[in-house]
A and B are shown apart, each in its own frame.
Chain A
Amino acid sequence: MEEVDRILIHALRQVGTDVDEDVDGVRQFTSELLVEAVVRCIRVIDPGLGGALAPSLPPGMSARFRVGMSLAQACQDIGYKGEIGYQTFLYSSEPEIRSLLMFLVEKLPRESAEASAQPSGKSAVLQRAIAAAVRAQLDLAWVPPNCRLPLHCETQSGGALNSFYTRTLSSPHCMKDSKTTDLKEVTEYHRDVLAPVTAQCSSGATMAASLLEQHAAELSAAQEWDSEWKSQGLLSRLTPQEYRSRKLARLQKRIQEQLRSAAQPASESAFPRAASDLSDVLQSFRGSAPSEDLLMKGTHFSHTQKFTFTQEAPAAAAAGPILSARELGGDVQLRQQEELSALQLQFQQLCSDVERLAADMKHAAVTHAQALDELKQRELGNSEKEEKLQVKKKTIGLLPDADANVVQLQSLVEASAKRVVSLASQWEKHRAPLIDEHRRLKEICSRQDLESSRKLSEIKSLHEKIHVSTEEAKKKEETYKQLVTELESLPQDVSRSAYTQRILEIVSNIKKQKEEITKILSDTRELQKEINSLTGKLDRTFAVTDELVFKDAKKDESVRKSYKYLAALHENCNQLIQTIEDTGTILREIRDLEEQIETENGNKTVSNLERILEDFKAIRQENAALAAKVKEG
């Protein structure tokens, strides 16, 4: 019982009840303490219910009575199934208090539920710590720079911020190509010349960033290769090197194609684009100093490019007069006009040249086509005529003996036809088994394909399982470490191991007792059975003897006497048995009555009764006072 009480008191202290140090057991709980404990428990269990209740007993008796009733109601709402009323709180008895407090403490929500919901793991712990620190910092009010205490300086001023500037580092690990690891010079370089990573960066600020970047790059490359290999690499059934080389070739080909396609349209449209660029440039030049050379070159260039499009001519021609219009000065204008007319003459000449050339080209193309056509036709005609010539030559050779040759030719034809047919059948004989073989091999191939794909999928699933189990193992190790540290940091006031030991002991005790009880019960049953059988036997024996003796009793005097003795013996033994049974019953009753006495003694009934009478008197007085007040007022 003391253990139970200590657990209860500890739990109540955790809830917030102010239990004195020397209160050792529930026996010593006063009504006020009890009420406070119950109210605090209810508040934790169900804040809605508990909000309406006050943790302290008011002095007035009727108020106390009311408080008791509401508390009892609240406990019943929560689910307490025992008998409860105001008397439990005001005139309490130990067993009732104990059961009520145990029920309430059990109902308290478990704190462990929150803890298990939080993710475990080192990173989670770290993140939680970070979150807590940031929250604490945010809670601090922002203070203007002048008033800052050193505590605030760290968190609120700009501080030593560094931009994220990285620098490629080289280390022996990052060059893992098979080509370079064997070279002696490379290893020498790595050993003797290459500076350590901390020295490779110009300033300390970039070092962290560079290291992070390099590590992230390597990690992501490794992960990508892993995932790609698992998904596609295994499917292609190549070794890793082959797969890599094939991928490289594929990428190179694609790059080539892209470059080629990008270069082609560029080259096609280069001409007009170049010309338009040039004309833009020329337009910009027009505003500035008139450099005739440039302009002349411009018109040259533009119209040699676009000689087929005569629409450009008016535009270029318009460029000339516009230029002349912009100039200032009379003689300058004259000179300009002379030059202009010369240029225009030249231009016209060129245009006519161009047209002539165009017409020539067209003519040439058409005649070329016609000539080709003719040529082709003639060639075809030639070949046909040649064939006919051959045939006619042969026929002429055969003409002298026309009929016989015709017959011979026909027989030749038939013979060759038959030969072809026989060859065909022979080939067919060869072909059929080959085709069957081909089909059979194909089937085998496809079956093997199926099998290998099945095995691949198995491999994949194994990979996944491995992955998953390694992760789980890692997580579990982390949680274990974390929990060990947590366990060490836990306060040691309540020794749970002692409790668990006691509980296990009690459980084993109970088991033993149960066994003993069952043994005793079985013994009792056995005894009862024996008694029953013996009684039965006795009755039967007595009946038989009785009859037997009675039969003889009529005739013989001594038998009558012995019959009387037998009857008396039977009667007395019966009485004995009866007395023994009564003794047993009475002993049981005595035990029950003793138990009841004990429980009643614990109830403190007398003291409670006195208190009730006093309180009753107090209520009566209060009632009288209130009635008087009402009458006055």
Chain B
Amino acid sequence: KDVNGDTLWVWCYPSVGSDLRQVLLRKCCLTQESRHFRTFVFGQYSRSWYYISTVEVQEPTALTKVTHFSIVVTSKDFNPEKYAALSRILCMYIKHGSPVKMMEAYIAVLTKGVCQSDENGSFLIKDYDVRKAYLAGSVKVVSQFGMETIILYTALMLKKRIVVHHPRIEALLEFTRALPALVWHRKDWSILHPYVHLAEVELEDLKTCPYVAGFVDPEVSNRSDLFDVFVSLPDSVITVSQSAKAMAMGKLHKDIGHVIVQSAEDSEGSDSQVIKDISTKTKEVLATLVALASECEDSKVTLEALKQHHFPPATENFLFHLAAAEQLLRI
């Protein structure tokens, strides 16, 4: 972004499709009017992750007429810390006034997995493990909701659409990245879309799968077609949309909820302990389901089989939908 107030692309490698370009321009806070610059933002679009860091240019530098610039790194994997570090190194753009040096460093990382940085030490890809990224978000953030976390847990288990709203993007990112940890057995962070705008292109992209999406725009609460569960972070309110009937709760849910809350309140245990507890409980539930399935032919569950066990209706409903989510249901 330069003195005239234009936001211009300097360099992209390899090429960037035009709609991705649009999306990135929108996400990058340089195009927004507010003076509030976010240093690091990440999000997902059509199965690739993008990481944007923004730096303000301080005098004196080799760059004249540029007030701020952003570095966007896209990749297929989810590892915010790694790419944050990489972007910091790539910020040597400031010093040299041309992106050539940046290119060298980036190519070095791509090909060799390591690159020198101006500060002491080098950047090694293998320093950044993906599991650490998964665990980096603190699950304890979720405990802000207390017993209501069970709603989030159920929604995630049943692969429903969750929308989280918070006016500040940093809080949004921190909260949403912790959510998929509740269903640790899937280790699937591709459902996470932490930073979405209410634009047609991005919403189209969202519709392809169940998602956990974060919005900064307060208008999203009016779009009830977009979500089954709506979480308003600043008010700490969870709303379940009318059409999500699979979310009825029963005794099973209460048990799980208790486990979550207890382990979260246990301040001695670390985050991983909490996640372990939750996943243990999840495994129990899945084990029952698998047991049910093995009773039926070709190890698939059917509704009739469930009905024979005379579960209470909420639990039966839950197990039915869970079976569909875990692909245990007979078609």
Contacts and interface: CB of A to CB of B under 8 A. Distances in A.
Interface of A: 363, 366-367, 369-371, 373-374, 376, 413-414, 417, 420-421, 424-425, 427-428, 431-432, 435, 438-439, 442-443, 446
A376 B47 CA distance: 13
6 contacts: A366-B329, A373-B327, A420-B107, A424-B11, A425-B100, A439-B65
Nearest to B65: A439
Nearest to A432: B98
Given A413-B111, A431-B10, A442-B4, A370 B329 contact: yes
A439 B329 contact: no
Q: Which of A424, A427, A439 has the most CB of B within 10 A?
A: A424
Contact of B209 (A363, A376, A425, A443): A376
A366 B6 contact: no
A420 B105 CA distance: 12
A43 to B, nearest CB: 76
Interface stretch (B28-36, B81-89, B318-326): B318-326
B108 A424 contact: no
Contact of A421 (B100, B321, B331): B100
Interface in B287-331: 303, 320-321, 324-325, 327, 329, 331
Contacts of B111: 413-414, 417
B303 to A, nearest CB: 6
Given A370-B325, A446-B4, 14 more contacts: A367-B324, A367-B329, A369-B324, A373-B327, A374-B327, A376-B209, A417-B104, A420-B107, A421-B103, A421-B104, A424-B11, A424-B100, A424-B103, A427-B11
A547 B271 CA distance: 142
A417 B327 contact: no
Contacts of B98: 425, 428, 432
Interface in B1-47: 2-4, 6, 8, 10-11, 13
A401 to B, nearest CB: 21
B28 to A, nearest CB: 18
Contact of B159 (A367, A373, A425, A439): A373
A265 B321 CA distance: 32
Contact of A439 (B4, B99, B108, B303): B4
Interface residues of B, number: 28
Contacts of A374: 327
Nearest to B4: A442
B327 A439 contact: no
Contacts of A432: 98
A413 B100 CA distance: 18
A424 B327 contact: no
Given A367-B324, A370-B324, A428 B99 contact: yes
B159 A417 contact: no
A370 B100 contact: no
B11 A370 contact: no
Nearest to B107: A417
Interface of B: 2-4, 6, 8, 10-11, 13, 65, 98-100, 103-104, 107-108, 111, 159, 208-209, 303, 320-321, 324-325, 327, 329, 331
Tell me the dominant secondary structure on chain A's binding face.
Answer: helix
A373 B100 contact: no
B327 A370 contact: yes
A412 to B, nearest CB: 10
Nearest to B98: A428
Nearest to A380: B47
A300 B11 CA distance: 67
Nearest to A435: B8
A501 to B, nearest CB: 75
A440 to B, nearest CB: 10
Contacts of B100: 421, 424-425, 428
A373 B325 contact: yes
Tell me which of A369, A370, A428, A443 has the highest count of chain B C-beta atoms within 10 A of its own C-beta: A370
Nearest to A422: B100
Contacts of A371: 331
Contacts of B2: 439
A432 B324 CA distance: 57
Contact of B331 (A367, A414, A420, A446): A367
Contacts of B303: 363
Nearest to A367: B331
A578 B107 CA distance: 131
A585 B110 CA distance: 130
A438 B65 CA distance: 12
A369 B104 CA distance: 46
A442 B329 contact: no
Closest 10 CB pairs of A and B: A370-B324, A424-B103, A366-B324, A417-B107, A425-B100, A424-B100, A367-B331, A428-B98, A413-B111, A442-B4
B325 A420 contact: no
Contacts of B327: 370, 373-374
A369 B208 CA distance: 11
A442 B111 CA distance: 40
Contacts of B8: 435, 438
Contacts of B4: 439, 442-443, 446
Interface centre among B13, B103, B159, B325 (most CB of A within 10 A): B103
Contacts of A442: 4, 6
Contacts of B65: 439
Contacts of A370: 324-325, 327, 329, 331
A363 B301 CA distance: 12
A561 B31 CA distance: 129
A468 B263 CA distance: 82
A376 B159 CA distance: 14
A420 B327 CA distance: 46
A372 B240 CA distance: 24
Contacts of B104: 417, 421
B189 to A, nearest CB: 14
A438 B66 CA distance: 13
Nearest to A372: B209
A253 to B, nearest CB: 18
A373 B322 CA distance: 13
Nearest to B2: A439
A608 B76 CA distance: 131
Contacts of A438: 8
Contacts of B320: 366
B279 to A, nearest CB: 20
A443 B321 CA distance: 62
B12 to A, nearest CB: 11
A53 to B, nearest CB: 81
Nearest to B303: A363
A370 B159 CA distance: 10
A446 to B, nearest CB: 8
A163 B331 CA distance: 79
A437 B3 CA distance: 14
Nearest to A366: B324
Contact of B107 (A366, A421, A431, A443): A421
Nearest to B329: A370
Max chain A Cβ within 10 angstroms of own Cβ: one of B3, B6, B98, B108 = B98
B37 to A, nearest CB: 22
Contacts of A443: 4
